[in-house]
Structures are given as structure tokens and as C-alpha cells.
């Protein structure tokens, strides 16, 4: 996989994540997010294990305990930022809250600097554009937003940035398929522990229906098994900062879905001019990161 291919894969991952809203609209509000994580990550784990058992076994024989500990760290960190986002988003309306996810783009290069890693000028330029986009989109709501909500989202984004940096590091060292499978397994176990505490009746509390089961499977295929695995494969070739800038496109895709898809699938909304301008800045920031400015001759010379 070369850099262009890795970037395309990251755009696809972001696209899959942006469809979460559509899938969630098919899942009744009464179902806890932890229940969704348990079931969808569980299904994804089974699929990945069944399809790539031999490969996973080989990687486990090679890396063993070290890999398990790293996956445990990633699983715990992922659960932590998921919970923070879950509670942080209560302070914002849907469209504004989605923009706050992009704060990760700004936080991540700072984390990289504290870890004494290089961040290119191109990345800083992209980050600046994305930041302008976030400020435009949040506009007046940023001033009126409750401090606690912003603080929770900021901490969530910082934890997520740490997750991305570590995932990027581990993806270059371990088999992405094995990493993806173990992250799914650990997410299932952690979410189940929280689910049991919040809703002891667990599976019995879910209003099972064809639509609910289908939605769980769709989520498991595309958001967990496919997007998560593709993401780790792409991270092998991409930088953490570059990947995060591309992730910020999620809000752009979400805005497009809310405008384009029929009402039978999604709650339609008309984005405000501030949201559109903000989204355009985010697209510009991502394009700077994606487009290769080197000459054609130099590009051909790179070993792919």
C-alpha cells in the first residue's frame, strides 16, 4: 500500500464512521450505547477470528504477551474516550457537538511535540485550516456553550489523540488484522462490564426485532470489522497527524448525509452557513495533507 492508497483508505474509514448516525437511527433510543458496543464488537470479533484465525495465531506466536498488553491499553483508552464523548455531547446539539470531535486534530500535533516527534510544516498548515473550520462552525455556540461540556470534549479529544498516536505506532510493528481483532474483543469485554453495572438484565433488556438485529450486523460489518481493520492497515503507511486530519472529514460527510439522504433514513437538517464555511475549511485542510506536493519524478522514485 502506498501513501495515496493509505489516504484513500483513511477517507473510506472516515466515510464509514460518518454513517454511524444513519445506523443509529434504526436502533431504538432505549438501547444503551454500551449494549451496542458489546453486540457489534462481539459480532466483528467472531467474524475476524473466523476469517483470519491462522494469521492471528501466527502473530500471537510471534508477539504474544506484548501484543496483548498493547491491545489492552488501546481497548481501555478507546473505552475512556468513548465514555467522555458520550457524556460531553449531552452539552451540545447534534450538529455543533459533531464539530467538537475535530478538536483532536489540534491536540494531536501538540501531543506529538511533547513526545519529541517531528510534525511537518504541511501538517501544521492543515491543522490551522481545520481549527479555523471548527471555530467557524461552532461560532456563537462556542461562547454560549457550557464550560463543562467543552472541557469534557477537550479531555476526550486528548485521550483520542493519544489513542491514534499509539495505534499508529503499533500498526507499524504488529499485524493489523490481529490488532483489530484483539481491540474488538477487549472493547466487547470492557463494554459488557459497564453494561452489566448500568443494566443488569443486559440482553433481555433489548427490544429485539428484525430491524434492530439488522442494524447491529450492519454496524458490526462496516463500522467495526471493515473500517477499524482498514484504518489499522492504512495507519501502517500514514502518519498519526495525517490520519487525524483526514478523520476530521467525518463532519463533512455527516453534513452531506443529513442534506442528501431521504427522511426515511435520517433526520434531515439544513446546515447553517457557518457550518458550511467551517466544513469547507476542514476540506481545505485535509486536501493539503492528502495532496502530494513532490514532483512526479520524485514520487516514482519512492519504493512502494
Residues in contact with other proteins by CB under 8 A are 1-2, 4-5, 8-9, 12-13, 15-16, 22, 26, 176, 210-211, 213-215, 217-218, 221-222, 226, 230, 233, 262, 264-265, 304
Enumerate the H helices of the chain as residue ranges.
Answer: 3-18, 20-24, 33-88, 94-100, 103-114, 121-144, 147-171, 176-198, 210-218, 229-237, 240-247, 250-260, 273-290, 296-301
Can you tell me the distance from the alpha carbon of 179 to that of 206, in angstroms, rounded to the nearest whole number? 30
**∠ CA 216-220-221 to the nearest 5 degrees?**
120
Min dist CB 47 to other proteins, Å, is 9
| CA 31 and chain centroid, separation | 21
Q: Which is nearer to other proteins, 154 or 221 (CB)?
A: 221
> For residues 229 and 176, is the Cβ–Cβ distance under 8 A?
yes
* Residue (188 or 231) nearer to other proteins, CB: 231
Instruction: State in angstroms the smallest separation of the CB of 10 from other proteins.
Output: 9
| Cα 173 from Cα 169, distance rounded (Å) | 7
Q: Shortest gap between Cβ of 45 and other proteins (angstroms)?
A: 16
Cβ(229)–Cβ(72) below 8 Å: no
87 or 259: CB nearest other proteins: 259
CB of 149: closest distance to other proteins in angstroms? 32
| Residue placing its CB nearer to other proteins in the complex, 3 or 117 | 3
Minimum distance between the CB of residue 230 and other proteins, rounded to whole angstroms? 6
Residue 103 or residue 290: which is nearer to other proteins going by CB? 290
Amino acid at each position: 500500500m502506498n501513501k495515496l492508497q493509505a489516504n484513500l483508505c483513511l477517507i473510506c474509514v472516515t466515510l464509514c464512521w460518518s454513517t454511524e448516525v444513519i445506523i443509529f437511527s434504526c436502533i431504538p433510543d432505549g438501547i444503551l450505547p454500551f449494549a451496542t458496543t458489546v453486540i457489534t464488537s462481539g459480532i466483528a470479533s467472531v467474524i475476524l477470528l473466523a476469517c483470519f484465525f491462522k494469521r492471528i495465531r501466527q502473530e500471537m506466536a510471534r508477539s504474544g504477551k506484548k501484543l496483548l498488553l498493547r491491545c489492552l491499553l488501546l481497548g481501555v483508552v478507546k473505552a475512556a474516550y468513548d465514555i467522555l464523548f458520550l457524556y460531553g455531547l449531552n452539552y451540545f446539539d447534534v450538529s455543533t457537538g459533531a464539530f467538537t470531535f475535530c478538536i483532536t486534530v489540534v491536540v494531536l500535533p501538540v501531543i506529538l511535540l511533547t513526545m519529541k516527534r517531528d510534525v511537518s510544516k504541511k501538517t501544521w498548515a492543515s491543522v490551522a485550516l481545520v481549527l479555523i473550520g471548527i471555530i467557524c462552525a461552532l461560532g456563537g455556540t462556542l461562547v454560549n456553550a457550557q464550560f463543562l461540556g467543552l472541557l469534557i470534549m477537550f479531555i476526550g479529544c486528548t485521550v483520542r489523540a493519544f489513542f491514534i498516536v499509539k495505534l499508529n505506532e503499533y500498526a507499524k510493528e504488529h499485524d493489523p488484522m490481529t490488532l483489530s481483532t484483539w481491540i474488538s474483543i477487549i472493547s466487547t469485554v470492557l463494554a459488557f462490564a459497564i453494561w452489566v453495572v448500568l443494566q443488569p438484565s443486559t440482553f433481555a433488556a433489548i427490544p429485539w426485532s428484525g430491524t434492530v438485529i439488522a442494524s447491529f450486523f450492519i454496524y458490526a460489518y462496516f463500522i467495526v470489522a471493515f473500517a477499524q481493520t482498514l484504518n489499522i492497515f492504512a495507519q501502517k503507511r500514514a502518519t498519526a497527524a495525517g490520519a487525524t486530519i483526514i478523520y476530521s472529514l467525518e463532519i463533512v460527510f455527516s453534513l452531506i448525509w443529513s442534506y442528501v439522504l431521504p427522511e426515511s433514513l435520517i433526520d434531515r437538517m439544513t446546515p447553517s452557513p457557518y457550518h458550511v464555511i467551517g466544513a469547507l475549511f476542514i476540506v481545505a485542510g485535509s486536501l493539503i495533507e492528502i495532496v502530494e506536493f513532490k514532483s512526479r519524478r520524485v514520487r516514482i522514485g519512492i519504493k512502494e
